[in-house]
Amino acid sequence: MEENEFALVYTASRNYQALLVKGLLEENGIEASVINKQDSELIIGFAEVYVKREDKEKALQIIRSREI
């Protein structure tokens, strides 16, 4: 994933939360990816949702409107 092409729009403490946000964005026509940065043994860390840079503002509006 090229750093310049994608933007972080959501950080979650649990992977399933990030997957819910990804699904919400995809339902609204925005391609999204989840990067899971949790340690599977210790269950610490977080998951991040990324979208294409040009979709960032629209994605943030969708996320805010749902108060996730």
pLDDT at 7: 98
pLDDT at 42: 60
- Round to whole Å and give the CA distance between 20 and 42: 22
pLDDT at 14: 87
- Helix runs in the chain, H state only: 15-27, 56-66
Place of tokens 């994605």: 59
- As given in the structure block, the two tokens for residue 12 are 């979650």
Place of tokens 């933007």: 7
- As given in the structure block, the two tokens for residue 55 are 């979709």
Section 48-52 average pLDDT:
97
Query: Any idea which fold 6-66 has?
Result: Alpha-Beta Plaits (3.30.70)
- Positive or negative, the Cα torsion across 2, 37, 31, 7? negative
